[in-house]
Structure 1
Amino acid sequence: MEPLELTHQVIQSMDIGKIFKDNHSDINSMSFSDDCTLLITASDDDSVNIYNIIRGTREKLLYNKDYGVENIKFTHHPNAFLCSTKKGTEHLIKYWSSFDNRIIHNFKGHTDDITALDMSPKNDMFISTAKDKQMILWDLRQRKGLARLEYRESSGGGMCAFDPHGVIFALVYPVVTQNITKNYIKLVDCNNYLDGAFSTWEIECPEIKGIQFSDDGKYLLAYTVESTILVLDAFDGSKKLVLRDFLNENGKVMACFSPDSKYIVTGCERNNGIVMFDVNSGQKVHEMKGHPKTPTCLAWSREHVLLASACQNLLFWVPDFNKLRPSG
């Protein structure tokens, strides 16, 4: 897995490098460590698995039977992660040490199911959204939230994400009026968060279920409950692309950018596939198959040409160098 520039040819050569069948239920979230040597997954069977990317092995298995686990995220330390609880009435964010399987702290502040977590790429701040229609800004070093942004008019739980430089963060939530869904995207300055949002965009489309900034900072990816992915200009919210050449009728499939911001990958209910699109042209570049069920979770390694995808099984996709060698 040496550094390799992503091209159409490389994308089209990608094939299954490893399959893990460690879970009894679907994987609901995953996250790479900062150096991309580890991948952590959370499953509906209440388990947390940690995988070594270099060795291609499972390194650790943890459980949270009482509360369940979802929205898992590595902190900036490879032995510590965040996750939200899936069961119970406390709606906690757990700050968990994998080194000694110890809960460092339970962050309390939400009053309903937590829908998203994201960690600042720059420091120890993180954000969360929930069905209580609040976004909370936290700091790992402080017990209480730093700030709250309420969106009571929302028809859903909302989602959130930091930009790649940790300068701003975004909140998105839907408002349904007379059967018309409008999504509001609010941008907040990390240094002036008490002032609230400095910009708000209004987008008419199916409910947005997740957002991600591209690593070059130019675009904001928004994937919806239906078979629609939007690529927005990260500065003014204008639409660059609308992708529909895949199937997501159940609204559970996520999408993400490749680390070079040139490609978008999404799960697809058709043939339980994974579809790759070119960001510049919007054209489908490749479709991969290998999952027994629809892969709903995806994550790219920023350090290797490696894509992780998950249904109940976890698959690592890597280039097949035999397909890349010149013939003759």
Structure 2
Amino acid sequence: MTREMKLTDNVIRSFGVAKLFRENSDKITSVDYSANGETLISSSDDDSIVIYDCVNGVPKRTLNSKKYGVDLIRYTHAANTALHSSTKVDDTIRYLSLHDNKYIRYFPGHTKKVVTLCMSPINDSFLSGSMDKTIRLWDLRSQNCQGQMHLTGRPVAAFDPEGLIFAAGINSEMLKLYDLRSFDRGPFATFKLPQDKECDWTGLKFSGDGKLILISTNGSVIRLIDAFQGTPLQTFMGHANNKGIPLEASFSPDSQFVFSGSTDGRIHCWNTETGAKVAVLNCDHPNPVQCVQFNPKYMMLATCCTNTAFWLPFVDE
């Protein structure tokens, strides 16, 4: 795997599947890379957590969460611990030691399914949002919620790369930006966007340079917004989503490209500046590709349906 290569249209078009893993018996619902890019962790509807070694391209370990189920798995800043939401028993968020598969702490409070979970890029705080129409701010060191916001609909939320502000998407039509130090005073910016009648917002991400916000949906549109002005910049379309599934969309680390899966098992890539589609990558994904993420440190893409594919470029630029 290479760190030096620059991402270009040609490099992206050359991406092919280097490894395909069939560790799971049901759909993979979320993935997350460690900050150093060396491991990838996944959660699945089969109640398992699989950790992959990205450098050697092998599965490293499988942990089971049969009692509580597992969704929205996220690495914390320590590479051997992770956070995840639950799919059984209750809607508590759980903090897991991957080293010995024991829970370090529980974060109770949400009364309905947790649909967004994100770790601060700079410290031990994290955000969660739930179908109970609240967004909560937490600290890994305390089981008590540090603050909460009541909304009027399904939330999506994300930290900016500096970890100083966070964005909350509300009711699939409004984007609010909050300063973390004073979020109880309300948002410092609110952007109203054209509402998608056909679909709901299901994911929110800042680009690595902090200038762009990506909104993914459970429909066949992905929106790109200017993070400072709130102006719509691009609408990415042409990928299949005929099942109302929350398909993940992700930036490349250089913020130049956006990747998304589709319900027909293909991977689509667009240029953030021009909005043009750069490539449609084919793989043996037999089911909808719900998870797509680019490695933060290495030239590698991971995509998942019920199986997991590691993609590498096959050109020398």
The answer to whether TM tops 0.5 is yes
Give the deviation of 1:194 after TM superposition: 2.3
Q: Deviations over 1:151-206 (max 9, x none)?
A: 0x22xx211111111011111121xxxxxxx5111111112122222222111232
1:167 aligns with one of 164, 188, 211: 164
2:302 aligns with one of 308, 321, 327: 308
Match status 1:261 vs 2:255 = yes
Q: Which runs of 5+ in 1 are unaligned?
A: 175-181
2: distance between equivalents of 1:34 and 1:167?
A: 18
Give the deviation of 1:98 after TM superposition: 0.4
Provide the aligned length of Structure 1 versus Structure 2.
311
Residue number in structure 2 paired with 1:42: 43
Give the deviation of 1:67 after TM superposition: 1.2
> CA contact under 8 A between 1:264 and 1:278: conserved in structure 2?
yes
Residue number in structure 1 paired with 2:313: 319
Residue number in structure 2 paired with 1:179: none
Give the deviation of 1:251 after TM superposition: 2.8
Residue number in structure 2 paired with 1:215: 208
1:282 aligns with one of 252, 256, 275: 275
> CA contact under 8 A between 1:149 and 1:196: conserved in structure 2?
no
Q: Deviations over 1:83-105 (max 9, x none)?
A: 000112x2110000000111000
Alignment of 1:128-143 (within 5 A): 128-143=128-143
Match status 1:234 vs 2:227 = yes
Q: Deviations over 1:54-95 (max 9, x none)?
A: 11111111111111000110000110000000112x211000
Secondary structure at the aligned position of 1:194 is classed as helix
> CA contact under 8 A between 1:15 and 1:318: conserved in structure 2?
yes
> CA contact under 8 A between 1:128 and 1:160: conserved in structure 2?
yes
1: distance between equivalents of 2:136 and 2:103?
A: 20
Give the deviation of 1:26 after TM superposition: 0.3
Secondary structure at the aligned position of 1:9 is classed as helix
1: distance between equivalents of 2:314 and 2:268?
A: 17
2: distance between equivalents of 1:239 and 1:246?
A: 19
Q: Deviations over 1:264-295 (max 9, x none)?
A: 001122x4200010111111111111111121
2:155 aligns with one of 158, 163, 179: 158
Residue number in structure 2 paired with 1:194: 184
Residue number in structure 2 paired with 1:22: 23
Residue number in structure 1 paired with 2:110: 110
2: distance between equivalents of 1:255 and 1:289?
A: 17
Secondary structure at the aligned position of 1:17 is classed as strand
> CA contact under 8 A between 1:95 and 1:103: conserved in structure 2?
yes
2: distance between equivalents of 1:82 and 1:183?
A: 28
The alignment's TM-score, normalised by the length of structure 1, stands at 0.92
2: distance between equivalents of 1:64 and 1:85?
A: 9
Amino acid at match of 1:267: G
% identical aligned pairs: 35
Secondary structure at the aligned position of 2:143 is classed as coil
The alignment's TM-score, normalised by the length of structure 2, stands at 0.96
2: distance between equivalents of 1:79 and 1:17?
A: 26
Amino acid at match of 2:275: G
Give the deviation of 1:255 after TM superposition: 0.8
Give the deviation of 1:225 after TM superposition: 2.1
Q: Which runs of 5+ in 2 are unaligned?
A: none
1: distance between equivalents of 2:218 and 2:71?
A: 19
